[in-house]
Structures are given as structure tokens and as C-alpha cells.
Chains A and B, each alone.
Chain A
Amino acid sequence: MPKRKSLIKIKPRKYRVGDIVKVDFIVIHPMETGMRKDKKTGKVKPMHYINEVKFYFNDELFTTVIPWETVSTNPYFSINMKVTGPGVLKVVYKDNLGEVHEKSKKVKPKG
């Protein structure tokens, strides 16, 4: 399974319990539509796209995104989250060829 790089950002950077923060998730992925030709080989590049992104807070699933191949290359997904206390935000993502990856970020509210 190829290594994929991803990034989780919580905005604003400083937040308190009770705040609603923005959670931004970016991942490096080709998001191939299955309709493009490889310029070098002339062959159609097979469809390859992320088809599930799950957001967990302390292992509790709270948002599921089902993206399609129509989402841009190196996709960006942004949702809101209500901060209820410290913990771990985890994003688990899968693609149509069976790759599964995850990325975590600590949630540290001040005050």
C-alpha cells in the first residue's frame, strides 16, 4: 500500500470547550476519474479515488463523507466540530482500490 500524506487543521488555532471549530482535511491522492489517458502510454488510467472519509472524536464516529471521483485531485474536505473537551480527532479514509489510511490530531481546548 503506497504511503499517503495528509494534513488535519483545526481553525481557529485557539479554542475553548463549547466552541464550534472548523476541521480541514487535505490528502495527497490522484482522484483519477477513469476517463483520462496517460499521455505517455496512451492507455486509459484506471479509476482511482477516495470513496469514504470518516471523522472520529475519541473513537466516536461523527461525520462520514462519501466522495466521488468528481472531487478534485489532492482533495480537501472541511466540516465543523463542536469541542466538548480534550481528546483525539481521527480521520480514516479509504479508496476504491482498497487502500485504508488514517491520520490523527490532538484536540486541546484552552479553558
Chain B
Amino acid sequence: MKKLLSLALIGALFSAPGLAQEKLSMTKADRAMYEEMKENNPADIFVEEGAEYLDELGGEETLAKFLGVKEEELPKYIAGFPRYIDKITMVVAIDQMLQAFMYDRGKKPFKLKSTKMDAFSAYVKSLANGEKINIDVNANEHMKKAYKLGKEMFELRRGKRGLSCYSCHSPDVVGLRLRMQILPDLGDPKVKAAATWPAYRMTKGKMFTLQKRFQQCMKNALLAKIPLGSPQMVALEVYITDMAKGQEIEIPGLKR
């Protein structure tokens, strides 16, 4: 009943799933072709650029030391971001952790907005390629709080249209189309949402981090953009990353 009601309510926004499914859906061969494109992702070049930034700061060894883990444990540790770090006294995503790392190394940190930071954080996350997301939202009070705030942000209806993340990503509407695009279930292992960001967006011809993608969503839904690295934004990343827990990290992703 609830599903029927919501279907009726958003009927004006979304087309029914049955409608022209046959004509509009990509075939298996089409999917395979797009899958193959990942092998030649233009974002590979940006990730390579990020490797240079880490090398300048002393490489993986120095980063592992900064984080207080053994070098061989670094990939697994990275697969657990966002996390609470004592040194920083905040729950941080990889980008803010790297700002602290740069500061610690006596370098001026890249701005969260900069493409340099995108490249740097994409490379560092790619160190965890093949690892499964192991975020622990019950690790401590800070993470518990962040998760709770993240859920609130996800469901908070804002702006003139009263839209929330939930409006397009609730179980009730997942699989429907928004202007021919299927609305993805962010927890679906096939979608691999949080495991594949930073990703190259073909529509924009650039690579973006997950938080930047959130901002683009907000802009399209006519909501005020939540600043990168703010507690609310990091909390949202925590919540969405938890949805993809257990999924294998694959950086850089390639998105439509």
C-alpha cells in the first residue's frame, strides 16, 4: 500500500518501470561494452598524478607511519574510511586525513575543492583496490554519532521541492527511471556505489570524489550545497559507505 501510494505521488516525476523497458534498457552486449571501458578509464591518468603527490611526501611507508599502522596493513586500513582518528579528533574521509598528513609533513595542504586533492585521495583510496569496504560505524561513539547524523542527512527533506537523498534512493523507487536513467540502489553489490568513488563521470569529462558527487546531486535537486568536509557531509559519506560495506573497492570508477 505504501509503495502504491508513493508510486502515485511521484508519478509525475518518474516513468513507470514497465513502460518501454524493452526499448530503453541496455542489452547484455551493451553492458559488456561499457564494462570494457573501465579498462581505459581516463581517470587512470589522474590517479597516476596522485601517486606523484604521495611519493613527494615519502610514499606509503610515511603515510602508514602517520596513521600508526604497519605498511602491509595500510590497504585494509584505508578500506575502513571514513574513520575517527585520535590525532585529528574528528571523523574524517580520506581527503581530510590527507590534509592532516600534508600538514604533519610540513606541506601546505591541498584544498578539498582542488582537483589535486581529488587525484591525491583517489590514488590513496586505490591502494585499497581489491580490499572490501570494512567501515565500522560502531567502532566508537564518534562513529555512532556520525552514522546517526548521516542517516538524518540522507532523509532530511530540504529546498523548495522538499527533496532528500531518500526521495530518489528509497527502496520504494529504486529501479524506476528518472529521465530514462534507472535509479540505483546504493547498497546493491552490482552498483558498488561507495566502492567506486572517486570516479570519472563521462557526462562531465572529469573525476569527482563521493562528496563532490553528493554536491552535484544537491545542485540538481535545487538544495543548498553542504560544504565539503563539514560534519554533515562526512556523516553522509559514512552512511553511504556503510551501505556498500563488504563490497570490493575499485578505484577509479567509471560513471555515466
Contact = CB atoms under 8 A, between A and B. Distances in A.
A9 interface: yes
Interface stretch (A52-60, A71-79, A84-92): A71-79
B contact residues, range: under 10
13 contacts: A5-B45, A5-B48, A5-B49, A6-B45, A7-B45, A26-B42, A28-B42, A28-B45, A72-B205, A74-B42, A74-B205, A76-B42, A78-B40
Closest CB pairs A-B (n = 9):
A73-B205, A74-B42, A5-B45, A24-B40, A76-B40, A7-B45, A26-B42, A28-B45, A74-B205
Contacts of A24: 39-40
Interface in A8-59: 9, 11, 24, 26, 28, 30
B237 interface: no
B45 A30 contact: no
Interface of A: 5-7, 9, 11, 24, 26, 28, 30, 72-74, 76, 78
Nearest to B205: A73
Nearest to A9: B40
Interface string B38-59: 0110101100110000000000
B28 to A, nearest CB: 22
The DSSP consensus for interface residues of chain A is strand
Given A7-B48, A74-B42, 9 more contacts: A6-B45, A7-B44, A7-B45, A11-B39, A26-B44, A28-B42, A30-B205, A74-B205, A78-B40
A28 B42 CA distance: 7
Nearest to A30: B205
B74 to A, nearest CB: 25
Interface string B140-184: 000000000000000000000000000000000000000000000
B45 A26 contact: yes
A39 B222 CA distance: 17
Contacts of A26: 40, 42, 44-45
A109 B49 CA distance: 27
Contacts of B44: 7, 26
A24 B205 CA distance: 18
Contacts of B49: 5
B6 to A, nearest CB: 34
Nearest to A25: B40
Nearest to A5: B45
Contacts of B39: 11, 24
